[in-house]
Structure 1
């Protein structure tokens, strides 16, 4: 938030906005296009891409308006608190999102797999081996190799942990009004995140080409790519958020006392770090 924070009204109520309804329509177009795409309709990819582009344009303009309101001194302490609550609930929803996928992984490994391998099912599938990473009891999944923790997942863990440290250093620099140091450490955080994504792309290429591990490789493949893929998507979103914050730091938008945009993006990034630690242990080690 800007240095004009102290001159803000008691509570700012924005006027009528076109962005919510446009966002809803764009998201609807995105999902309709995606549904058509997976059903092999020719217009599906174009509708999906058009919807995504519309969402991006809307977010650019909508967030631009919010930034202008903040820099115009319209946001009081009450607005700051409402933003903090909103970001907290958003991150909580993301926690529940990943909890669903971790829950699916737990159910498959701790409940379904032993059940399929018990004595009662030996009659149906005598050759089935109830070991995680199996091709399933029906023999319809191609053979594949599982993904271990070395070297790329461990390197990525070091990258994300380091990025959490660099982001914390940037935050302390901002609170001390050291803008150059803030920008440098924030850029380092973004660079570490981009490097993480580069390694993950390489890991996926390795999985498909050398391990024959695909999204269709049974429950192991589906849970592996859903968990790591959605986490990679969140890393990408976090890097974009931090890039916007870096741009605003360079523009001089924040003060040591008022910089919730920085803090909100940092909360999100640290959340992504914590999710990766759980994913690293459960998916790659266990």
Structure 2
């Protein structure tokens, strides 16, 4: 406990010293706008210079530009590597409801960079109850696509995200990383097994509803995954298999007929689905396919 308090005091001292060093320099909003403009000429990047300007501004305890800054940060897609050490200071904004956004944003960026600190996971989990305006939604979605995120950390966050129906229902992402798809499939199977074994605590909403599709390579992987799951004998009982397969097939067909889906799944994917009609073991899967066809005809 003493060491934790000491570390906190040291951090506060660092911030105090930094504040004194910067007190004679009042950040200009015009300077900020120019920095953003320069950094966004190629893509939505938070550069070291932008991060430093925001940090200086927040140390001034001025709130006038905070809403505008938050709006700009909420659509920022990339944080420059050397800017991470600058925004690390934002983790200390614990209590102020206006500035907690910066704390949450920083935790997301550090986790996407590969950090597995438990404190960061706790901070991110706060988002799903505190971020009522969903200002961080697009950055939360980047967790699914990060190539550096620790998969164990991602699992913990996804479980908490899934428990927040309001937040998870607004997540819609395209997956290109195999480890992420495997994780979601595992969580989905665990959900189904838990619902069957403990119906009193049933969790209805599938994890897959947060996914709007996956890359062609992952589609080929998923075909093989489904083939093995359906055909190879395992300890998983048939009712669980059927429920799991039905959920996945329904998700695939929903991706097919989704309005506004600009990245349709491959024809091989759909061709494989129809092979289930020749398998008498899974009548619920047959029903899911026929229901999807009926819905498709309605749209046509």
TM over 0.5: no
Structure with more of its chain in helix, by fraction: 1
Q: Which has the higher contact order (CA 8 A, sep 6+)?
A: 1
